[in-house]
Amino acid sequence: MNPAVEPVLKARGLVKRYGRVTALNNADFDLYPGEILAVIGDNGAGKSSLIKAISGATNVDEGKMWLDGKPFHFNSPLEAREAGIETVYQNLALSPALSIADNMFMGREIRRSGVMGSMFKMLDNKEMQRIAREKLNELGLMTIQNINQAVETLSGGQRQGVAVARAAAFGSRVVILDEPTAALGVKESRKVLELIQDVRSRGMPIVLISHNMPHVFEVADRIHVHRLGRRLCTINPKDYTMSDAVAFMTGAQEPPAEAVAA
């Protein structure tokens, strides 16, 4: 990457301990404008911990983070969201008993216009349902018949679709996706990959955590390899094969020196 370009998101020396487990061990991170950055790594490597630190879902024990060159520290996911960072967490962060529309607008509900909205704080359910339906349609997730269906009555793939649609619809600065295609079928995964490229074409950078090497190599501009709680190296998918990437992330092969320096 061009060192003259300021990363959108930058982190240095992140440390996160859970009791005796060190989930992040001096981890660095860079996300550049307009790129799709894939983060790969073994189970337990600390990928989710990394994005939780960035998105304000957990407090790190040590380390510094910058957004557009300015130091930041989010104390809650809400603060990250207000800064335009939308995250699809690995556990999706949906409320199972609430409807699809309720979940998509959780924390950013639309109120009625006029006195009913301003005085009586009445929600505009029709409008929220309309927008939710539209967003899911764009994602090709309209095997869902009823937007007022409780999320717990959806299949795993449909739930993931709802979470991804929510992030894509409301992200304005960065979209982070933690294993968004893990429970999806081929067709649904394809939709999510298209959506990711769609979001990028709007100029928004994306962090994609995934185990699926074909997906990663298809869409990523750069690949951040995470191992044992830290960034092992960053590689360009054009210069390496999928088996190289797997060898780095499992420790079967030492990464090249120039990739480590990046």
Partner 1 sequence: MSGAESAASPKQDFEKALDQSDTSVASFDTKEKSFLDRIQHFLHGNPTMVPVIVLLASVVVFGLLAGSRFFSPFNLSLIIQQVSIIGILAAAQSLIILTAGIDLSVAAIMVLMSVISGKLAVEMGVPAPLALLVAFVGGTAAGIMNGLLVTRIKLPPFIVTLGTWNIFFALNLWLSGAQSIRSQDIDSAAPLLKFFGNNIALGSARLTYGSILMVVVFVALWYMLNKTAWGRHVYAIGDDKEAAELAGIRTDRTLVSVYALAGFVCAIGAWASIGRVGSVSPQSFYEGNLQSITAVVIGGISLFGGRGSIMGALFGALIVGVFQSGLRLAGVDVLWQVFAIGWLIIIAVAIDQWIRKVSA
Ligand X SMILES: Nc1ncnc2c1ncn2[C@@H]1O[C@H](COP(=O)(O)OP(=O)(O)O)[C@@H](O)[C@H]1O
Q: Indicate the burial class of 119 (C-beta count within 10 angstroms; 0-12, 13-18, 19 or more).
A: exposed
Contact range with partner 1 by CB under 8 A, out of 5-13, 29-37, 176-184, 218-226: 176-184
Residue listed under structure tokens 């079928």 = 185
When binding is defined by CB under 8 A, the residue of 109, 134, 254, 258 that contacts partner 1 is 109
Least separation in angstroms between residue 238's CB and partner 1 is: 28
For position 44 contacting ligand X by CB under 6 A, the verdict is: yes
Shortest distance in whole angstroms from residue 89 CB to ligand X: 10
* 169's tokens: 């619809």
With a CB cutoff of 8 Å and minimum separation 6, the contacts of 239 are none
Residue 122 contacts partner 1 per CB under 8 A: yes
**Does the protein bind ligand X through residue 251 (CB under 6 A)?**
no
Among 59, 91, 137, 253, binds partner 1 (CB under 8 A): 91
Q: Point out which residues bind Mg ion (CB under 5 A).
A: 47-48, 90
Biggest CA–CA distance in the chain, Å, is: 65
Piece of 15-23, 131-139, 153-161, 188-196 that binds ligand X (CB under 6 A): 15-23
Is 64 a binding residue for partner 1 by CB under 8 A? The answer is no
Among residue numbers 167 through 196, which ones bind ligand X (CB under 6 A)?
none
Structure tokens at 254: 């030492």
Rounded Cα–Cα distance for residues 135 and 194 (Å): 14
User: Contacts by 187-195 with C-beta closer than 8 Å and gap 24+?
Assistant: 187/140, 188/140, 188/141, 188/157, 188/160, 188/161, 189/215, 191/139, 191/140, 191/141, 191/161, 192/139, 192/160, 192/161, 192/164, 193/218, 193/219, 195/138, 195/139, 195/164, 195/168
Closer by beta carbon to Mg ion, 21 or else 97: 21
Closest CA to 37 of 54, 59, 21: 54
Contact residue for partner 1 among 15, 155, 198, 262 (CB under 8 A): 155
The yes or no reply on residue 188 touching partner 1 (CB under 8 A) is: yes
Q: Decide if residue 103 touches ligand X (CB under 6 A).
A: no
Name the residues that contact ligand X, by CB under 6 A: 18, 21, 23, 41, 43-49
Name the residues that contact partner 1, by CB under 8 A: 57, 76-78, 81, 87, 89-98, 102-103, 106-109, 111, 120-123, 143, 145, 150, 152-157, 179, 182-188
